[in-house]
Amino acid sequence: MSEHVSPPAGLSRRGLLGLLGAGAGGIVVGAAGGAVVGTTVATAADSGSAAGTVHPFFGAHQAGITTPVQDHLHFAAFDMADDATREDLISLLQDWTYAAARMTQGLDVSASGAVGGRPEAPPDDTGEALGLPASALTITFGLGPDLFERDGVDRFGIAARRPADLIVLPKFLGDDLVPAASGGQLCIQACADDPQVAVHAIRNLSRIGFGRAKIRWSQLGFGRTSKTSAAQATPRNLFGFKDGTANILADDTAGLDEHVWVPASGAAGWMAGGSYLVARRISQLIETWDRVRLVEQERIVGRDKAQGAPLSGGDEFTAPDFSKTDATGATSIDARSHVHLAHPDVNGGTRILRRGYNFVDGNSVLGSLDAGLFFLSYQRSPEQFVRIQKKLSTDAMNEYVRHVGSAVFAVPPGATEGSYVGAGLFA
């Protein structure tokens, strides 16, 4: 695997102190402040395999949005430390960019890495990904509304640059949100085809942020519930149905420009080429659903369970016909079905790019599975999600789901080599 990575300028002094404070050793940097290339996590043999897939970190858009959806997720929301300054925020984003640019290429988090530093000091890299390939790792960063202003206080001098589209989501009918599992001033989405690679990324970025930012909440996900590439098969959610059949795909340039990417003509020019991320933790009442008759499950969803075809007929990719009726005169697709209410035709043409994951987090005190969907969607404005979610207030599926976590983030455009994610905000 190539070891060429061009980070902004290595880790800042605060980043070095953060690693030390979290139990790490010093980072080796070059005389000019640039990174000295260190231990490669993947081997040359791995680079030709599917697990060795490497996605570029730098580019016009951040990776992890239209990138083919990987099998595993570790998502974390952060709050800045109470005494953190504007300079701390900038250096944190620089340090995270530096480390992310290395890890996504299959490298250790720093030049000295897990085993290349002084034996008498704790290693810079935690080491659990040592010997593993890049596994298609992508790392995506977002900025929450509270980062720009919290309780009327502009801590970081960026309130005036908050995009008008970065709204706090309204409370939706049926929300049962847990405050400690919602919100956040920053977020990191790490997706990979190996769960250990994704966890390694969040763990090390959290260590780098020690003293400047701390995790507010996090979520592990497995089994993607959408696709962003035509080459990918449509996956199934924990209700057993195919999910994300009509998702916006990476090769749909027109659809992405219209529905996902923030245009250059927007008021917040630093967000041009970026997007907005909505994260929702949706608890699925698995045991209740499992007792529902198959015909009723299909009516609620609006598709058949075997192939994912709409109940109006055809195959999985046949457009639903909401006017078609059955022998009794009733519409083949129930007006309260999920497919009907979420469809662009009944939402003014509104579309979003979905990138969700299943989760199972043990069990509740009553013995039921704590399981569900960690819903992630990207759109050029959160208002697109709001419109669809309001329409879903009458969804027949609401009897079997509970929205317990919620957050929204501005996702800046991708960084250019030598710069960092979010640099335009401080220009």
pLDDT digits (tens, 9 = 90+) for 288-299: 999 999 999 999
Single out the residue of 64, 90, 89 nearest to residue 8, CA to CA.
90
Q: How many domains in the chain?
A: 1
pLDDT of residue 266: 73
**Residue 158: inside a domain:** no
Look at residue 153 in the predicted model and tell me its pLDDT. Answer: 92
Q: Is residue 161 part of a domain?
A: no
Residues facing residue 359 across a β-bridge: 372
Cβ–Cβ < 8 Å for 123, 25: yes
Q: How confident is the model at residue 20 (pLDDT cuts 50, 70, 90)?
A: low
- Residue 113: predicted pLDDT: 84
121 lies in some domain = no
Question: Which one, of 41, 210, 175, 226, lies nearest residue 115 by Cα?
Answer: 41
Give one DSSP letter per residue of 28-78, joined into a string.
PB-TTSPBPP--BSS-TTGGGSGGG----S-SSS-TTSSSPP-SEEEEEEE
Do 207 and 81 touch, CB atoms closer than 8 A? no
Structural domain includes residue 325: yes
pTM of the predicted protein model? 0.90
Over residues 182-187, mean pLDDT: 98
For residue 335, is pLDDT > 80?
Answer: yes
For the ranges 14-18, 112-116, 263-267, which has the lowest average pLDDT?
14-18
**Distance, CA of 73 to CA of 365 (rounded, Å):** 26
pLDDT tens track for 249-286: 999 999 999 999 999 987 789 999 999 999 999 999 99
Which residue in 194, 195, 218, 197 sits closest to 206, CA to CA? 218
Q: How much of the chain, in percent, has pLDDT values that exceed 70?
A: 88
| Per-residue confidence (pLDDT) for residue 30, from 0 to 100 | 29
* 177: in domain: no
58 part of a folded domain: no
Q: What is the 3-state secondary structure (H, E, C) of 305-368?
A: CCCCCECCCCCCCCCCCCCCECCCCCECCCCCCHHHHHCHHHCCCCCCEECCEEEEEEECCCCC
Q: What is the pLDDT of residue 47?
A: 39
Q: What is the mean pLDDT of residues 233-248?
A: 94
Work out the average pLDDT over 181-189: 98
Using one digit for the tens of pLDDT, what is the confidence trace for 75-99? 999 999 999 999 999 999 999 999 9
Is residue 72 domain-resident?
no
Q: What is the pLDDT of residue 212?
A: 98
> What is the average pLDDT value for the chain, to the nearest integer?
89
User: Is residue 357 predicted with pLDDT exceeding 60?
Assistant: yes
Find out whether 406 and 175 touch, Cβ atoms under 8 Å.
Answer: yes
384 located within any domain: yes
Domain, as residue range, for 410: 255-416
CA atoms within 13 A on the CB side of 277: 31
- The string of pLDDT tens digits covering residues 34-44 is 333 334 444 33
pLDDT value, residue 8: 56
* Closest of 268, 271, 267, 249 to residue 259, by C-alpha: 249
Predicted local distance difference test score (pLDDT) of residue 365: 77
Lowest-confidence pick of 132-136, 365-369, 410-414: 365-369
Mean per-residue pLDDT, 372-400: 97
pLDDT attached to residue 15:
65
Domain CATH for 291:
3.30.70.1030
Looking at the chain, the number of H-run helices and the number of E-run strands are 9, 9
* CB neighbour burial string for 340-376, b if at least 16 within 10 angstroms, e if fewer: bbbbeeebeebbbbbbbbbbbeeeeeeeebebbbbbb
Confidence tier at 2 by pLDDT (50, 70, 90): very low
